Structure 1
């Protein structure tokens, strides 16, 4: 990591998105134990060293993690975009310039995610495209997109992360599986956990 990227990391907050209902999984995915620890703790272990600070958006419990819990507030039923809004609001109040989002169900989150995302400029969002497709939930967002996110949430339409990335002119960075120090495999159902 060069000096510019190191300097950028000190201004980036990590936001773990944990507000989903876990309908397909059947229980709270974030609390599901993998190797003796909640799944969300594995995500925090991998994201934490890449950013200056971490917060959890949408969670209703701490999962034994010592970090701020951000409520989705009036947008609680509006999916990951609500968590992004909460994270951006918190980041603005704590003088961060960017947030990197990651869902709570990606326990093998790449340890080089932020380095790869920050390889573009920093004025627009950035997202990786792997052979699996675009990893929209694992993106870097400048805090300047906060008003755009709020507008979408208040309008109640176009609530997808992918739609926001497109609207905000995101940089799409193409990477191969071998470029990743980890994986974007997510755990949506008990069978996924068994395969992991």
Structure 2
């Protein structure tokens, strides 16, 4: 079973006030924490929505600026064309993922309840999502999730949802968020 990890990093970080992916957590950019978590669970990693040194970047599909769903669509297409069986999707600020998140989400399709950007998707859904995006104006993850039949999963522990600098500060605190 070959798994592709995708970091969805095309957001504008409006609530955060600066580039969230580059924000430091314990002296390291958030995106580096995410990449580290994916590296132990995935055979390869790509990033959607931005360029980042040391990680292959792929453009949203069908066009740039499509948000997390465009990134997921691009990752599923890349996965199906390159021999991957599934895609583990996360956001650039999911810096405290469980080391067994893919196992907790298996079998796909599944997503983390209340954090739908985090999900495990079979690469075979590539055509379905691409077609759905061609006929749908909505670019909301929850709309796709309903269409796909993905199931919500409660993780064994809560993961941080970093929307502002205060959330980041709380995560650095030993008590967490």
Question: Given the two structures, how large is their TM-score scaled by the length of structure 1?
Answer: 0.79
Which residue of structure 1 lines up, in the alignment, with residue 40 of structure 2?
Answer: 49
Cα distance change, pair 192–98 in 1 and its aligned pair in 2 (3 A): same
Say whether residues 1:89 and 2:60 are aligned partners. no
Task: Quote the offset at 1:147 in angstroms.
Answer: 2.1
Distance 1:30 1:111 in 2: 20
Say whether residues 1:126 and 2:110 are aligned partners. yes
Which residue of structure 2 lines up, in the alignment, with residue 155 of structure 1?
Answer: 135
Give CA-to-partner distance per residue, 1:26-67, whole Å, 9 cap, x none: 2111111222211100011112101111111111x31x4x22
Q: Is the 8 A contact 1:107 1:186 kept in 2?
A: no
SS in 1 for 2:40: helix
SS in 2 for 1:90: helix
Which residue of structure 2 lines up, in the alignment, with residue 76 of structure 1?
Answer: 64
Distance 1:104 1:21 in 2: 12
Structure 2: segments with no counterpart, 5+ residues = 172-177
Task: Quote the offset at 1:195 in angstroms.
Answer: 1.7
Which residue of structure 2 lines up, in the alignment, with residue 173 of structure 1?
Answer: 153
Distance 2:85 2:164 in 1: 35
Q: Is the 8 A contact 1:55 1:70 kept in 2?
A: yes
CA RMSD after TM alignment: 1.8
Distance 1:190 1:126 in 2: 29
Which residue of structure 2 lines up, in the alignment, with residue 186 of structure 1?
Answer: 161
1:35 is aligned, of 12, 26, 34, to 26
Structure 1: segments with no counterpart, 5+ residues = 1-7
Give CA-to-partner distance per residue, 1:101-145, whole Å, 9 cap, x none: 000011111211001112x3x5xx11233xxxx331111111122
Q: Is the 8 A contact 1:97 1:142 kept in 2?
A: yes
Distance 1:156 1:169 in 2: 17
Q: Is the 8 A contact 1:75 1:153 kept in 2?
A: no
